[in-house]
């Protein structure tokens, strides 16, 4: 086993990793059985049992255990939700407590793997937790640092996630080049341009090698959201009419149901009462019955996971079926990659704009880039790779460990910061 001195923690919106380094190499820590990734989810049992995490949390929810599944919890950082409480069984739990429980679990798995308490950590962060709000962005990092101290880390530093990915990518380069990092995470998309080489990798200070660094609050869970609104929610009454065409169903139910960290907010008696009243106004009441079934039986996260599974399947296939009937009593529609691409059109335009912006910030033409290194859970989507190719035609695209590149790079950065 590697004698760990340094740790990198990649707390992601969808998945998290922990990595360790002995000063010369980095390795990911098994977090759930042999899995080196842990889905960023927490399940709280209604009876007050200790929370469970990752795949076990999802299995508890899917298995019908009485409790509360929370995913996309990183999204609460930088928002007002971080200081609010949510109901779990008969008690109120703060979102800060939820994040603390999850990070504490990561720390416990790390310490058990190493055999001692690891106190020095570099934590990955998006370039912007919050777009166009420096105060909220700074507060998000401050809260994350406070939680990390509370779970037992003593020396804490931060590194931008795309920079960490670049440090990991640099381990395999043979000559100097400019690399554009495209890190498509669950909640953000981050972009960096760096000068890398085997010689420069030995330098302690790499600030001069960072030519540009930027990001937008758009990621894989947003792709899930727009796909859900396009392909799932119409089967539950989204955009259907009421009052013989005089009105339209309120959209906020569907927007919440399509958004990972807002799903639980629908699970109230008031929502069911409202839907019961709306059913009598709806021109297609059977669709509202499906929506009420999802809310009453708390199938929102199952729907979201079905959408995510189809998005992933369409990375390799031209068609994939959305398995909805067991949750909605409706159809199991077929989704094509073409329809996914159409749904993601506005998102891809934002990505193209961000790519052009990062090149402009660096003062570089696309031809100056030696390689585009793509990482992050959604980076395998063909439309994303096509999007990159449109802005940087002819530039080679490389990929590494889509979920582990940032974590490994953070451990390498910990060596620089704490050695």
**Is 190 part of a structural domain of the chain?**
yes
Domain count, the chain: 3
Length, in residues, of the chain: 419
Structural tokens at position 211: 């030519």
Q: Based on the fold, state whether residues 225 and 335 are members of the same structural domain.
A: yes
Residue 1 lies inside a defined structural domain of this protein: no
Residues 322 and 364 in one domain: no
Question: What stretches of 106-219 adopt beta strand conformation (E)?
Answer: 120-125, 155-160, 177-184, 189-196, 210-216
**Domain-located, residue 59:** yes
Does residue 166 belong to any structural domain of this protein? no
- Domain-located, residue 167: no
Percent of the chain that is helix, strand, coil (3-state, to 5): 45, 20, 30
Together in a domain, 142 and 18: yes
Phi, psi at 59, each rounded to 5°: -65, -40
Same domain, 253 and 229: yes
Helix (H, G, I), strand (E, B) or coil at 318: coil
- Same domain? For 13 and 155 the reply is yes
Residue 361: CATH number of its domain: 3.30.420.40
The SS3 of residue 332 is: coil
The pTM (predicted TM-score) of the whole model is 0.87
Residue by residue, pLDDT tens for the chain (419 residues) are 555 578 999 999 999 999 998 877 789 999 999 999 999 999 988 887 889 999 999 999 888 888 888 888 898 898 888 888 887 777 888 899 999 999 999 999 999 999 999 999 999 999 989 888 899 999 999 999 999 999 999 999 999 999 999 998 998 899 999 999 999 988 899 999 999 999 988 887 888 999 999 999 999 999 999 999 999 999 999 999 999 999 999 999 999 999 988 898 899 999 999 999 999 999 999 999 999 999 999 999 999 999 999 999 999 999 999 999 999 999 999 999 999 999 999 999 999 999 999 999 999 999 999 999 999 888 889 999 999 999 999 999 998 777 788 999 999 999 888 87
Domain holding 261, by residue range, is: 221-343
Answer yes or no: is 170 within a domain.
Answer: no
Same domain, residue pair 255 and 373: no
How far is residue 287's CA from residue 366's CA, in Å, rounded to a whole number? Answer: 49
Within a domain: residue 168?
Answer: no
């Amino acid at each position: 086993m590697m004698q760990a001195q340094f740790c990198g923690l990649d707390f992601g919106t969808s998945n998290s990793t922990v990595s360790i380094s002995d000063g010369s190499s980095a390795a990911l820590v098994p977090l759930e059985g042999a899995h080196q990734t842990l889905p960023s989810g927490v399940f709280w049992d209604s009876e007050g049992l200790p929370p469970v995490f990752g795949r076990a949390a999802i299995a508890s929810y899917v298995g019908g255990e009485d409790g509360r599944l929370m995913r996309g919890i990183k999204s609460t950082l930088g928002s007002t939700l971080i200081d609010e409480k949510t109901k779990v069984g008969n008690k109120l739990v703060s979102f800060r407590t939820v994040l603390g429980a999850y990070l504490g679990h990561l720390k416990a798995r790390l310490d058990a793997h190493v055999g001692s308490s690891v106190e020095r950590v570099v934590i990955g962060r998006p370039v912007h937790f919050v777009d166009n709000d420096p105060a909220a962005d700074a507060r998000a990092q401050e809260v994350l640092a406070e939680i990390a101290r509370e779970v037992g880390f003593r020396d804490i530093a931060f590194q931008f996630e795309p920079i960490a990915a670049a440090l990991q990518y640099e381990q395999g380069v043979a000559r100097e080049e400019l690399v554009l990092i495209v890190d498509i995470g669950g909640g953000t998309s981050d972009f960096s341009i760096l000068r890398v080489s085997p010689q420069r990798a030995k330098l302690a200070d790499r600030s001069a090698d960072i030519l540009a660094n930027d990001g937008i609050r758009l990621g894989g869970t947003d792709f899930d959201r727009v796909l859900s609104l396009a392909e799932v929610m119409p089967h539950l009454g989204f955009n259907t009419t009421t009052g013989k065409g005089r009105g339209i169903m309120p959209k906020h139910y569907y927007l919440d149901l399509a958004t990972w960290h807002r799903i639980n907010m629908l699970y109230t008696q008031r929502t069911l009462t409202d839907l019961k009243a709306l059913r009598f106004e709806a021109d297609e009441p059977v669709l509202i019955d499906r929506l009420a079934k999802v809310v009453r039986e708390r199938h929102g996260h199952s729907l979201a996971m079905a959408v995510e599974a189809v998005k992933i399947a369409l990375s390799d296939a031209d068609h994939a079926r959305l398995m909805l009937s067991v949750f909605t009593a409706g159809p199991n529609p077929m989704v094509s990659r073409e329809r996914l691409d159409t749904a993601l059109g506005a998102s891809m335009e934002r990505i193209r704009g961000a790519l052009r912006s990062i090149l402009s910030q660096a003062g570089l033409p696309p031809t100056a880039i030696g390689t585009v290194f793509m990482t992050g859970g959604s980076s395998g989507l063909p439309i994303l790779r096509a999007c990159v190719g449109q802005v940087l035609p002819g530039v080679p695209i490389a990929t590494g460990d889509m979920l582990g590149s940032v974590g490994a790079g953070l451990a390498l950065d910990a060596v620089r910061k704490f050695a």
